[in-house]
Amino acid sequence: MPQESSHRAHRVVLIVDENSNPFEMSCAIEIFGLDRPELGRRLYDFRLCAAGSHTRMRDGFFTLTGVAGLEAAEDADTLIVPNRPDTQVPRAPEVLDTIRRAHTRGARLIGFCSGAFTMAEAGLLDGRRAACHWMWAESFRARFPQVLLEPDVLFVDDGDILTASGSASALDLGLHVVRRDHGAEIANHVSRRLVFAAHRDGGQRQFVERPVPEIRDESLSPLLAWAQERLGEPLTVADLAAHASVSPATLHRRFQSQLGTTPLAWLTTERVALACRLIERGENRLDVVAERSGLGTAANLRARLRRETGLSPSAYRRRFGPGAGEPVRA
Nearest 10 degrees: CA dihedral of 166, 171, 173, 179?
Answer: -170
The answer to whether the CB of 64 falls within 8 A of the CB of 49 is no
Average pLDDT value for residue range 186-209: 61
Check whether 4 has a pLDDT greater than 50: no
The pLDDT, as a whole number, for residue 209 is 36
The pLDDT, as a whole number, for residue 61 is 85
H/E stretch holding 157 reads strand 155-157
Q: pLDDT tens digit string along 277-316?
A: 899 888 889 999 999 999 999 999 999 998 888 889 998 8
Task: Grade residue 247 by pLDDT with cuts at 50, 70 and 90.
Answer: very high
Could you tell me which residue, 184 or 298, shows the higher pLDDT? 298
Task: Grade residue 201 by pLDDT with cuts at 50, 70 and 90.
Answer: very low
For residue 320, which phi and psi values (nearest 5 degrees)? -120, -5
Q: Tell me if residue 176 falls in helix, strand or coil.
A: helix
Q: Is the pTM of this model over 0.85?
A: no
Q: Tell me if residue 60 falls in helix, strand or coil.
A: helix
169: Cβ–Cβ under 8 A, 6 or more apart, which residues?
A: 112, 113, 131, 154, 155, 204
The pLDDT, as a whole number, for residue 219 is 76
Mean pLDDT of all residues in the chain? 85
The answer to whether the CB of 118 falls within 8 A of the CB of 111 is yes
Map out the domains of the chain as residue ranges: 11-194, 210-320
Task: Grade residue 84 by pLDDT with cuts at 50, 70 and 90.
Answer: confident
The pLDDT, as a whole number, for residue 104 is 97
The pLDDT, as a whole number, for residue 200 is 53
Q: pLDDT tens digit string along 214-241?
A: 434 467 888 998 999 899 998 999 999 9
- For 88-135, the DSSP string reads TSPPPHHHHHHHHHHHHTT-EEEE-TTHHHHHHHTT--TTSEE---GG
Q: pLDDT tens digit string along 28-63?
A: 999 999 888 778 778 999 999 999 899 898 888 899
The pLDDT, as a whole number, for residue 188 is 83
The answer to whether the CB of 186 falls within 8 A of the CB of 194 is no
**Which CATH superfamily does the domain covering 210-320 fall into?**
Homeodomain-like (1.10.10.60)
Check whether 135 has a pLDDT greater than 90: no
Task: Grade residue 198 by pLDDT with cuts at 50, 70 and 90.
Answer: low
The answer to whether the CB of 189 falls within 8 A of the CB of 45 is no
Average pLDDT value for residue range 239-250: 92
Q: Which CATH number is associated with domain 11-194?
A: 3.40.50.880
46: Cβ–Cβ under 8 A, 6 or more apart, which residues?
A: 11, 12, 13, 14, 28, 29, 32, 33
Could you tell me which residue, 173 or 4, shows the higher pLDDT? 173
H/E stretch holding 55 reads strand 54-56
Q: Tell me whether the CATH fold assigned to 11-194 matches the one assigned to 210-320.
A: no
Q: pLDDT tens digit string along 116-134?
A: 999 999 999 999 999 988 8
Q: pLDDT tens digit string along 150-183?
A: 877 888 999 999 999 877 788 889 998 998 898 8
